[in-house]
Structure 1
Amino acid sequence: MAAHIKSCFIFLVLVVFATAAAAQTRNDDVTAHAELKRIADYLAAANLYSGTMMLTVDGHSFEPVVVKRQDDKAAPVDVSTPFNMGSVGKLLTLAVILNKVEEGQLALDGTIAEYWPNSGMENAEQITIAQLLSHTSGYGNYFGAGNYSLEQRTIDDFLQLIRSEGVEFAPEQGFSYSNSAFWILMRIAEKVDPQQRSWLELFDAYVATPLDINLHRFQPDQDYNSRPAALAVSPFGDVSPISAEKNDARPGPDGGFYITIGDLARFHAGLLDGDIVSPQMLQQSTRKRSHFESLGCDIGLVWELCSYDNVEYRSKGGTTAGSGAGIFDWQIDGHQYRLVMLSNLYNAPLFVFPGIARELTNDRDFVAPETNEHPLAWLWQKVTADEVSQVTREPDLWYQQRGQFIGDLQFIVFAMSAAREGYQEAAEQLLQMHIIRHPEQGFAQRVLKRIQQG
């Protein structure tokens, strides 16, 4: 009898511990989502964000968070609003190419010429599929061509632009973030496809149909009721509308499709969970192959492999003047996090999105500043009032409360603009503070030297 009671007691203890562990995991989920909502409230109040976000923790997906800027309370932004995914769309091309590799129709070390003879592309005999996917092929951006315009519509139009531009360097002899490479990749995919499907049909067959998602092809020079207004931020934090017709990206193999937050989350999960890319191919694509210096991240096949505060993130950002997207996944303390974000604020994926991911990762609770000005507008007030030393004396306070949502390049541009406005000493102090925190960033050091030399 005593043995039976002891056994029951041990069983109950184990149940209690198991229940507590499960509750802790769910509590961690809920805490992370509550933290995201607190961050979203501040970003909206400070005019730092307009758009949608969605968090998944350990496979549990929360309801999307809708972020409406303080100045745009009446803007029709909700979970059904599609935003431009920008260069996150390059992962569509990656999914098609990796499937073609698994089907034996392509090899990552195969060359352009091998699959597309007489392409007319420079260095076609040397440039490989992997180099096209990792921005080391030497090809740059077709929209730098002198005859680029909104008249180009077909893949042949874009390929002709790319031929006219040529390459910037020999394969593997440099890094250049390339949009041109992805048009070449999808022409190759068309060439090797047994059914001779177009690149759009391949996107549908390998991604959209299996995942049941919609990829909206909004053209920049046409009006769409569901397209949100495009917004831009000045160097000093002012937010204003911009023309999507002049600035938005055209949908193509390099990105530019519009997508809702729910469909973006499904696309992200499909890439990571083996639904549209096998685990073996995912592993190959997330191995370091090059380095993106200005981003501060390594590059795999399309994927951006970033490290913040000793946490490793697999990510991809895409920014256009019309809007942009960002996807992140990381593991910490035994939990797996996935975060997808969409915004119609120019360069939010580059400047704001990484800060949101970092805030969800660190141990401290997010505490919003006492005032809700845009961080750059607040900093500009300090500069013009000759109070910038209040910031530089306590740099950790700036980075923890405001600066985490300001990208490094954005901060440097702010300092340059302040110097041009006659506040040279303040600009120097801010750059010196930035360099102490980021000694590896040579660009900030060069800007400081240029300002000091007048």
Structure 2
Amino acid sequence: MLTSAAFGQSANKQNPAEKVFYEWLSAINSGKAEQLEAYKATYHKQWAVQNMLDIWERTGGYQVVRIEKNAPLSFIVLIQEKASDALHRESVTVDTTGNDVNVKMVIEDIERPADLAIRRLTQGEAIRSFLQHADSLATSGKFSGAVLISSNNKILLKRAWGEMDKEKHMLNTAETQFRNGSMNKMFTAVAVLQLIEKGEISLDGKISDYLKDYPNKNMGQVTVRRLLSHTGGTGDIFGPGFDANRANLKDNADYLRLYGSREPDPTNGFSYSNYGFVLLGEIISAVSHMSYYEYIDKFVFGPAQMNSTGELPENVDLPGRAPGYMRVKGKWERNDSTLPYRGMAAGGGYTTVDDMLKFVHALQAGRLVSKAMLDMAMQPNFHDAPSGYGYGLGFELYGDKQLVSFGHEGGADGMNGELRVFPKLNRVIVVLSNLDPPAAHRLVDYYSLRMPAK
């Protein structure tokens, strides 16, 4: 375990903020409830120890990369997860003016700085390194799922790890259907872009232009562009309302009946919104005079030949659909009790790694939308420079120059998937998992940081 002594500072000479950080680091890296309880009692009485244990289990703890600021009441440090390449900037500020030590701690995701870049490998080396890493994660129970990597239209790797069904000890295969969470948003976005090209929807059209009886007039003024880019302040669908009505939320329209009266968030910045994409699903239905599911099946999955992708209800028996497993107090439990009735416009469907590659090929071949429309969707409406994360019109964006990429992640209890497409390299990475996030995301990152950049 790294300590302050590793950076030339003995424990009894630490500044107050520095001392708080290293006590937190020692507690989180211990993975022990009693040590976390002691830290909580001293500095963060509102924290939940189980949440901290979950973080430890997911990350493996943290190691210090470098200290950026060490002032008496302010300490800023770069840390890396032991179980992944993920870097974070942690800021600790301390107020000692009162009787108690008041601590504020912020941990932010950051893009890996150039001086900390991981060495690029040859294609063969990158695949071998990836396989070794995935094997290790699967052996330790931190990955279960399927992977597909292609370059220049040639599949370099297609393989599955772990159990599809833990109770029956059935193994995953490359054909297993995994719940894809918010990856569905790409399909919804493509449907909207198709209808824009047909002149039936306008990017600057308002919700109320298409859903004439929308109950909240202020929300009705939000535009399609802002819905696609998560800048409309439309909010989430999960929480107490969802939990109380989960069994009755069977269609996008049911979510509108539940949430349609609420006001939009007055802030105008990026705020990830599941409800915004539910609204887009209803707009698709209203404009096309088809159900959302019929439209997506006919105009997205059909042309792309995605025959193993869909949003059928959970009570429909699909032998190839993997149950999801969430980690609860250190044990795996099925996520059945958390699932919506069926997938919808914001997420919750299922797919395979092969079908996601077919989706990419259909997009790039112009079978779903024109190249001009696709290019417009990939322009960032939001970009977070420190983390490198951006968002276009229904697609997540990463990187720049040769390494610019688009795609989408999806994740919830017992499910995680990600598609990342590098158009300038003609390279595609798909990882799908039936475990909690970030099981798939971390593997996508692992390969993308090591693959050749040309």
Is 1:220–1:245's contact at 8 Å kept on the other side of the alignment?
Answer: no
Change in Cα spacing, 1:268 to 1:124, as seen in structure 2 (3 Å) is same
Change in Cα spacing, 1:259 to 1:180, as seen in structure 2 (3 Å) is same
What is aligned with 1:157?
254
Q: Which amino acid aligns with 2:282?
A: R
Q: Which structure's residues are more often helix, by fraction?
A: 1
Give the whole-Å Cα distance in 2 for the aligned partners of 1:96 and 1:306. Answer: 23
In structure 2, the residue corresponding to 1:325 is in which secondary structure?
Answer: strand
Compute the TM-score of the two structures, normalised by the length of structure 1.
Answer: 0.65
1:328 Cα deviation from its structure 2 partner: 0.7
Q: Does 1:322 align with 2:419?
A: no
Change in Cα spacing, 1:337 to 1:129, as seen in structure 2 (3 Å) is same
What is aligned with 2:342?
250
1:286 Cα deviation from its structure 2 partner: 0.8
In structure 2, the residue corresponding to 1:352 is in which secondary structure?
Answer: helix
Give the whole-Å Cα distance in 2 for the aligned partners of 1:33 and 1:123. Answer: 51
What is aligned with 1:103?
198
Q: How does 1:249-398 map to 2 (within 5 A)?
A: 250-291=342-383, 297-307=389-399, 311-330=403-422, 335-348=425-438, 351-361=441-451
What is aligned with 1:200?
293
Change in Cα spacing, 1:163 to 1:86, as seen in structure 2 (3 Å) is same
Give the whole-Å Cα distance in 1 for the aligned partners of 2:209 and 2:142. Answer: 47
Q: Does 1:148 align with 2:245?
A: yes
Change in Cα spacing, 1:280 to 1:52, as seen in structure 2 (3 Å) is same
Cα deviations across residues 377-436 of structure 1 (Å, max 9, x unaligned)? xxxxxxxxxxxxxxxxxxxxxxxxxxxxxxxxxxxxxxxxxxxxxxxxxxxxxxxxxxxx
- Among 199, 210, 221, which residue is 1:126 paired with? 221
Uncovered stretches (5+) of structure 1, i.e. residues with no partner: 1-26, 364-454
Range that drifts further, 126-135 or 218-227: 218-227
In structure 1, the residue corresponding to 2:301 is in which secondary structure?
Answer: helix
Change in Cα spacing, 1:294 to 1:190, as seen in structure 2 (3 Å) is farther
Change in Cα spacing, 1:51 to 1:70, as seen in structure 2 (3 Å) is closer
Range that drifts further, 341-350 or 68-77: 68-77
- Among 261, 264, 278, which residue is 1:167 paired with? 264
Is 2:143–2:440's contact at 8 Å kept on the other side of the alignment?
Answer: no
Change in Cα spacing, 1:97 to 1:70, as seen in structure 2 (3 Å) is closer
Is 1:221–1:245's contact at 8 Å kept on the other side of the alignment?
Answer: no
Aligned residues: 329
Q: Does 1:176 align with 2:252?
A: no
What is aligned with 2:81?
none
Give the whole-Å Cα distance in 2 for the aligned partners of 1:90 and 1:209. Answer: 17
Change in Cα spacing, 1:155 to 1:315, as seen in structure 2 (3 Å) is closer
Q: Which amino acid aligns with 1:243?
A: N
Q: Does 1:84 align with 2:179?
A: yes
What is aligned with 1:52?
146
Cα deviations across residues 354-398 of structure 1 (Å, max 9, x unaligned)? 4323343368xxxxxxxxxxxxxxxxxxxxxxxxxxxxxxxxxxx
Q: Which amino acid aligns with 2:370?
A: S
1:205 Cα deviation from its structure 2 partner: 1.6
Q: Which amino acid aligns with 1:92?
A: F
- Among 121, 125, 137, which residue is 1:43 paired with? 137
Is 1:308–1:358's contact at 8 Å kept on the other side of the alignment?
Answer: no
1:122 Cα deviation from its structure 2 partner: 4.1
**Alignment RMSD (CA, Å):** 3.2
Change in Cα spacing, 1:135 to 1:126, as seen in structure 2 (3 Å) is same
In structure 2, the residue corresponding to 1:142 is in which secondary structure?
Answer: coil
